[in-house]
Amino acid sequence: MLFWVIAASLTLVASLAVLLPLARRAEEDVDKSHDLEVYRDQLAELDKDAARGVIAAPDAEHARAEIARRIIKLGSDDQPKPRSGSMLAASVIGGIAVLAVPLVSWGVYTVAGSPDIPDQPLSARLAENPADSSVNDLIARAEAHLVANPSDGRGWDVLAPVYMRIGRVSDAVTAYGNAIKLEGATAARQAGLGEAIAATAGGIVTADAREAFDAAIQLEPANPKAHYFLGLAMAQEGKMVEAAAIWRQMLVGLPADSPWRAVAEQAAAQAGGKPVQRDAVAGAPGPSNDDIEAAASMSSGDREAMIENMVAGLDEKLRQNPADPEGWLRLVRSYSVLGKNDQAQDALDRGFAALGRDSDGGRKLSELAGTLGLKATE
């Protein structure tokens, strides 16, 4: 019903926009001397802009020609004025035509269309003919549905993990938040929200992300995603023993075919030695698998030297290209994990200078500084 009210209102507005000019009587001639003065002022402003170089010379010439044509037209009195009877007939015919278009269109749709078919649920629309639609088309249809129906919690719930898979992590945070607000909290939604928040922070498990993961564990004590990221939070704080304990405990309750088993085993094994920096969020840059395998075969001194060289390379890269929010987050965190707090603070200050404290990257740096015990204030 709401759709028809909106459609009728828009049709009425469009019709009035055409009918009102047709219904107006011919206006009296305007004060030509005033119009001429306006055009002269426009020519003067145009000359000033051309002199200052604000407008290119060819554009200025085109503008002068257009103003000149208007002045010539203003002085022309040769055009015959239409008769009042002709104007009235034209107005009546135009009004009938304008009113006939929406009336005929609505009548045809009522007979040949399907106005009584209800909206399909978002999940059904996304599943409908997937071979005929691209992912972007499906997402666009879902977003259009949610714009018209923002209280459709199930729609937000379906769209949130899709946003995560395509890398739209900020939109995923919003979608998960709306799904929780409208549909209620579940372990999957809270864990998804925590993962999305960590992704927006460049892979750092922030306080807000930890709160979401804690809520997921309260709802489902064995939730693997929440346990994995809470272990990652400990590792990012340099608490490798606690992180390894979380991941090993996580392995106890995992089925043999769980996709989280290999991830937890690898994380627990790495936590037993020198930490190798890896971003946990898919798509975030970090050392390659070859780097990790090479580090595993090195002595502790060589491994530490390799890590320091990687961090130094990242530092140099950011000096040359400082507009990299995720790079600054990784650099500050890397120096902190290596125990070089002075260099971490210096990198934090340089990151603020490059990105600005009020930017998205600056706010993420401030949040990271709070978790690492660095000074984020000026």
- To 10 degrees, what angle do helices 289-296 and 300-320 make? 150
Longest dimension (CA), the chain: 101
Least confident of 92-106, 132-146, 306-320: 92-106
DSSP state of 275: P
- Cα separation values, 162 from 23, 126, 159, 187, Å: 53, 11, 5, 17
Domain regions of the chain by residue span: 300-378
> pLDDT band at residue 20, thresholds of 50, 70 and 90?
low
pLDDT in the model for residue 111:
64
Q: Counting Cβ atoms within 10 Å, is residue 299 exposed (0-12), middle (13-18) or buried (19+)?
A: exposed
> pLDDT band at residue 117, thresholds of 50, 70 and 90?
low
DSSP state of 358: T
- CB burial of 42-52 (b: ≥16 within 10 Å; e: otherwise) equals beeebeeebee
> pLDDT band at residue 306, thresholds of 50, 70 and 90?
low
Q: Counting Cβ atoms within 10 Å, is residue 172 exposed (0-12), middle (13-18) or buried (19+)?
A: buried
Place of tokens 């075969």: 297
Alpha carbon distance 79, 329 (integer Å): 71
pLDDT in the model for residue 26:
44
**In three state form, how does the secondary structure of 127-162 look?**
HCCHHHCCHHHHHHHHHHHHHHCCCCHHHHHHHHHH
Tell me which amino acid residue 307 is. Answer: I
Alpha carbon distance 220, 232 (integer Å): 19
Of 194, 186, 188, nearest to 169 by C-alpha is 194
Length in residues, the chain: 378
pLDDT in the model for residue 74:
61
> pLDDT band at residue 182, thresholds of 50, 70 and 90?
very high
Alpha carbon distance 218, 45 (integer Å): 69
**pLDDT tens track for 214-242:** 999 999 998 999 999 999 888 888 888 88
pLDDT in the model for residue 301:
56
Q: Is the pLDDT of residue 189 over 90?
A: yes
DSSP per position, 40-76? HHHHHHHHHHHHHTSS-HHHHHHHHHHHHHHHHHHH-
Place of tokens 């530092």: 315
Of 312, 376, 370, 336, nearest to 238 by C-alpha is 336
Mean pLDDT over the full length of the chain: 74
Q: What are the tokens at 111?
A: 């007979």
Of 296, 290, 282, 278, nearest to 333 by C-alpha is 278
Please tell me the class of the 300-378 domain: mainly alpha
